[in-house]
Structure 1
């Protein structure tokens, strides 16, 4: 039986936790995860390891305990969608891992926009060459971009404008499933010209070849 449960906890709100995720965490003796994900299970008894800039230390910590204790590695969203699963597979075999999928930020953002995502191309800009973003958006009519706090949407939009794309629509989604959730629609050109402040947080951008549509009730808006 696998000793390491890799648990996707969804976009962040407790209401999006699956019963399988809740059960796996409840049965664990050790929880491993980022601060925000661990906060979903505050009060859980047992050992806690907080992931920061210490992934190799995390691997050693898990190896020291996996034969004696049940370990749950908590991953935001879905662990297989630009998540920690890829890193864990470098160190553990499939037989040692039980992966419990969660709702990814891609799924959640598209659901909030009532947009299907089976035909979307997903790209992450975390630590990657931004020319890849321009090439991807140029060649596809539906692109979902996972952007980090150091890559605010106006900066990424400027990359697209410089590559000759200014009329596509970008839906900028932030703090998905949290009380401060925001979803706003821009043309790429308008987004590149936006001079407002963007908090340091993660964003999902859904970029489509269409005119901005009426948004469903998506909470806060700029």
Structure 2
């Protein structure tokens, strides 16, 4: 006798997008009528005019307390009010990470991005959509390119002035800044002007639109690897532009991937990694405080404030880190066991790249190549420079680079007998 699988239970938690005028969809009104508990910000609860007899709860502080509260309500009809589309820089993704997505029904309203594009007649598919809500405004530095159109959410009424300041300081002061306040509500107001002369007040609830124009002194950087060395504050000990471009190509940043930058120095590799791929993450390890400070300043200036810098070195500092998709070893290569310690933590499909400029470092890479395989290459770069009144080639220090990658379905297994030369082993 066979049993019939039971049908999945209906979602008990409904996320309802609400407009600035308090409007919700017909399905949202039905969900509110059924709900026993309604969560939302004080503004959302005040705006909503849909009839409900549910208990109204404002988000707790700290916010993380809501996850246990919702788990305790499992099976009870609960509604959550959120601005616009809860899945676009909204609460939806955070809830899905803590609760079973099958328990949730999402009913979006038009997002701030959709409303702003409609007001400005911008083709939304050609616009960069960002969120500076609760994020450092310096994140904008990663997207400053002539001709780009940006729509961004903000934290409060101070954000537009902070954006205008950044644009002016970076040579984009001629850019047009438009602030759309309370879109869709009775207090809707739109103000526009140049960043360099911005002096307009903004409501606490606003969206910013940017049309970027670079002036003559603007530092314009592409998002492909190989930024000029002058883009970074450094002490001379950094991966130079040409080698950096080759290194990033071998590391191959993919969306969402995590990089360990071992011996990160001024952060050039980690920063370019984060600029090159969508939602990429990087952890930089360096025991020198002055270099971590430089890396922090560089990360802010180049628009990746999320760079995670750690006061530690490898291999001892690797233990508590999440497993990486890629590893770059640019410093501390001669520390005993560093290569194997890093390889042991690579995820399937992971890549490891190590650079050496000393004979001792080269010896480590030669041994790694003999034990594990991979590719061993040598990079030699010469730059034209003045020689008296003429021009000649000035060579940079040659760089030996070892590149190693794991198959998508494989894990690293150290070879039996570390002193013997044999190909790397992969366990499925």
Alignment TM-score, normalising by the size of structure 1: 0.82
Q: Which residue in the other structure is 2:17 paired with? A: 8
Deviating more after overlay: 173-182 vs 51-60: 51-60
Higher-Rg structure is 2
Using the TM superposition, give the Cα deviation of residue 144 of structure 1 relative to its aligned residue in structure 2, in angstroms. 0.4
Q: Which residue in the other structure is 1:219 paired with? A: none
Using the TM superposition, give the Cα deviation of residue 6 of structure 1 relative to its aligned residue in structure 2, in angstroms. 1.2
Paired residues of 2:71 and 2:99 also in contact (CA < 8 A): no
- For 1:198 and 1:150, locate their aligned partners in 2 and report how far apart those are by CA, in whole Å: 5
Paired residues of 2:36 and 2:54 also in contact (CA < 8 A): yes
Paired residues of 1:34 and 1:52 also in contact (CA < 8 A): no
Q: Which residue in the other structure is 1:213 paired with? A: none
- Measured against aligned partners, the alpha-carbon deviations of 1:153-193 in whole angstroms (never above 9, x if no partner) come to 122111011111122212111122222211011122222xx
- From 29, 49, 52, the counterpart of 1:44: 52
Unmatched segments (≥5 aa) in structure 2: 1-9, 214-428
Using the TM superposition, give the Cα deviation of residue 150 of structure 1 relative to its aligned residue in structure 2, in angstroms. 6.0
Partner SS state of residue 98, structure 2: coil
Q: Which residue in the other structure is 2:66 paired with? A: 58
Partner SS state of residue 158, structure 2: coil
Using the TM superposition, give the Cα deviation of residue 137 of structure 1 relative to its aligned residue in structure 2, in angstroms. 3.4
Paired residues of 1:142 and 1:208 also in contact (CA < 8 A): yes
- From 196, 205, 209, the counterpart of 1:202: 205
Using the TM superposition, give the Cα deviation of residue 48 of structure 1 relative to its aligned residue in structure 2, in angstroms. 1.6
Equivalent runs, 1:164-175 vs 2, <5 Å? 164-175=171-182
Q: Which residue in the other structure is 1:215 paired with? A: none
Following TM superposition, where does structure 1 have runs of at least 4 consecutive aligned residues deviating by more than 6 angstroms? none
Paired residues of 1:29 and 1:70 also in contact (CA < 8 A): yes
- For 2:117 and 2:132, locate their aligned partners in 1 and report how far apart those are by CA, in whole Å: 18
- For 1:180 and 1:127, locate their aligned partners in 2 and report how far apart those are by CA, in whole Å: 24
Matched, 1:181 2:188: yes
- Measured against aligned partners, the alpha-carbon deviations of 1:58-82 in whole angstroms (never above 9, x if no partner) come to 2222222222x21111111110111
Paired residues of 1:49 and 1:58 also in contact (CA < 8 A): no
Using the TM superposition, give the Cα deviation of residue 97 of structure 1 relative to its aligned residue in structure 2, in angstroms. 1.0
Using the TM superposition, give the Cα deviation of residue 209 of structure 1 relative to its aligned residue in structure 2, in angstroms. 4.6
Matched, 1:102 2:109: yes
Using the TM superposition, give the Cα deviation of residue 139 of structure 1 relative to its aligned residue in structure 2, in angstroms. 6.4
- For 2:177 and 2:113, locate their aligned partners in 1 and report how far apart those are by CA, in whole Å: 14
- Measured against aligned partners, the alpha-carbon deviations of 1:31-60 in whole angstroms (never above 9, x if no partner) come to 111111112147620222111424233222
- From 149, 153, 161, the counterpart of 1:154: 161
- For 2:63 and 2:212, locate their aligned partners in 1 and report how far apart those are by CA, in whole Å: 39
Q: Which residue in the other structure is 2:94 paired with? A: 87
Unmatched segments (≥5 aa) in structure 1: 211-222
- For 1:6 and 1:98, locate their aligned partners in 2 and report how far apart those are by CA, in whole Å: 6
